Every structure is written in C-alpha cells, then in structure tokens.
Amino acid sequence: MRAPNLFLIYVSDAERSTRFYSDLFEMEPVFVSPFYVAYEVADGVLFALWSRRRDVVTPEVPRLSEVGLMVPGAAEAIDELHTAWTAKGHTVVEDIHDDVFGRTFVIADPDGNHVRVSPVD
C-alpha cells in the first residue's frame, strides 16, 4: 500500500519560514533551495516549505489545514511547550485547552499556517 510521504505547505518567504520551523521543531532541513526547503521527519517522509506559489499565500486566502505535532507524555508536556512557544512570541490561534482528544493548542507560522500541538493518539 502506498502512503503519503511528502507534506508540503505554501509560504511566502522560504528563508523566513525555514528559520521559523527550524527553531520551532528544533531540527535542520535536509534540502535547501531558494524556493523549496525539506525536513526529513521520519525515514523517507518529508515536511517541506514551498514559496513558488506566493500568489496564493495572502492574508485573504484561508488556511484550511494544520501541521500537527503529537507530543508523548502527560498533559504537562503540552503545557510546557505552550509556555515555551508563547514566550518566544508565536501567534496563538487557539489557546491551550482540553478537547476530545486531550490537551491542545494552535499557533500560526508567519504566513498564517496553523501548527497544532496535541497528545499522541
């Protein structure tokens, strides 16, 4: 069976977004070009930034998906990450709360793409 192995988000500035995601996820990209940057998040699985579609990365275009970071451990691990990320000044889109799947919150990247933190399913 084939499984998705590339998760791509549109950004307006690849360099700025690379700094954001490298700091956020504490990882370095495996491939860098002026318009495309890729992080290997698991063996053969890439999370990538693409800035060739700047025409669709505008405040008027809603963001309809989320990048997810599932955190192992107790809810306190999510609380700690929330504290650390808000201390860095990241934009909170959905404040920390308990939902049907557990503790969660959402921040936005510089282009308004959402990053949700939640517990491991």
DSSP string, 48-102: EEE-TTTTT-STTSPP--EEEEEEPS-HHHHHHHHHHHHHTTPEEEEEEEEETTE
pLDDT tens, position by position, 24-63:
999 999 999 999 999 999 999 999 999 987 676 777 777 7
Residue 38: CB partners within 8 Å, gap ≥ 6? 29, 30, 31, 46, 47, 48, 49
Strand pairing report for 45-50 and 6-10: parallel
The rounded percent of the chain whose pLDDT value lies above 70 is 97
